[in-house]
Structure 1
């Protein structure tokens, strides 16, 4: 194994409130080992184009902290608390490894051009596909450079880890918003139903977090609709009508990926474009559809509220547990590369929920790429219209503590854009 002197780190896929905490962990650990730290601007696509930045210089890691000038440590602290992907992102699908492919030939050129000894890639399912392909190509081409995946996704649908960085913060946001809307919906003495749409194409983890509203305001959502369970709209309408016999305000948290028994979405998916991985680019409209349906069929006041990208950038609701674990995984990625591991992803293994305890393990990234972790049946109610206590036990430790912001003139501060 050759000595690692230069590492390259990239971010890819949808951003989160915690993805920069992983980047901070990578940078802090690499810097402590006296490594040269380079960053891809806009992920693997930017790397192919040669858009590389020296992160030690960009973050002023050698600059002293003072009253007037933020030193590198202050910048790392700000980076940890800054939402979105500081390095920029992409959705670029690598072809299958082939030494004669122009794409892989360019990758080889870039490796030599920048003297790269190891690559760390922070992302979700599709990013682990990139990590797997890079590691397989390097192995076949005889390139001695470890490739390590660091997980992130608010969808929490990645195999090989108990949960993913970004999910805890997004879950905390969904829980808080659901509780706030629950109180708002109960103000007037009229029948009304609110549909809150959370992200999640295939897995309902984030939608399930809405059930934690019961811990905040004492009233849990009446229904939690997950993509793991096909939706019968007639049964849902009957359930809502029945609930109106008990209360005025009905609250429904619904996943964007909820579908009919035949697999078709509630909205017209055929009119929506797909990205290079075949995913719908703008999968939304479920809450608005159900709100219109309830208004037309039940004759009640109804609202459809789409949380959309707020879920992934709401750093004001960030979970300290989430950011701590995200940073620890960044550190673990550097350590794994220094130990000569390659073609692996660092992941979280839960040892206990009460008290909450975890450890970090590596798993072959080939076992993770292009797979989706669905919510298990034990976390879904028998009727499919809500979640169980098992889901709440799983979720609670991930959202339990708030991340305190760094303030400037009373407002939270972010790191300036790169």
Structure 2
């Protein structure tokens, strides 16, 4: 029994999952654009190494982020949803594999789909990835509710939007994301044609290494004999001195095996792929326009401008469809932990933690938690430096090691509050 059939049997006839095998759409209308300039005209060859690099970097970055359930500011680790997201959304995949594949689907087809499997109590049991080519968003004409048309092996199924995880790229009309490969079709074709032309030149181009210039004309037989004598002499004395007769001129023929324009085309391709995937060009190996003075600034640009919008989309989709209304009302959310990407190098982290603890907005144990160290006794208190003073009363600074009591503070207030006549 397939996954869809199992879900149908679990939900029953009164559930929101409806099967209409070999029947028309009825009250459903497909969402489509009257004119779609990104319409597919056949499968695109996705062997381009630049696109592979972009998809691999994005999918691995998303899969590497810890996915946790929080209630307020505290992590919830024992709930079924937390266990599902942390250890594996289904029996066949780890959480890393699931997120990476879902993001790879989104970055190639424009849409990533995962069917939510629930039990009789409507509790989430598993998440199953679906082939994006077999899923289509549709809208019920009377209620305007969003459903998903899934082409199964034995028929067509309609799944309510609350039972389908859908992450997508940019879209305009409707609910289906635009495929980045469709946007890059012309760029990829041009890049492929230039490389193929360069290879054909290498295979069929001139393979001669020297030009032997003679005074006067020779018959074909004498030319062949002279070339054969020169070839025999060069093969035996290639690393030595070549002797030529009077009236002959020998020049070396220098050839560029690879046209430099190929590298320019590759740079343009990397730039366009980076633009479509909203990535800094240096993440794809193009450092021609990099103006940052440190790797930390480059990584920060990638996190803020590229990953943050994607993370926000995932978090909202997961929280809306995997949590109940009661859980959301209690402040429960599903979040990716991006602190690891923003920590910087050791020196930067050390300065950040030092200022946080010294200024009273980090506890020592919170710092230890960021560094994945066990908590220490007494480390849950907020501390504040004692050598600080109010900006309007600099004379009230506290000397190191001196205790301050209420009487001292009262006397200081009286001293600053009155002036001698």
* TM bin (shorter chain): under 0.3
Structure showing the higher helix proportion among its residues? 2
Which structure has the bigger radius of gyration?
Answer: 2
User: Relative contact order: is structure 1 or structure 2 higher (C-alpha 8 Å, sep ≥ 6)?
Assistant: 1
TM-score (norm 1): 0.26
TM-score between the two structures when normalised by the length of structure 2: 0.26
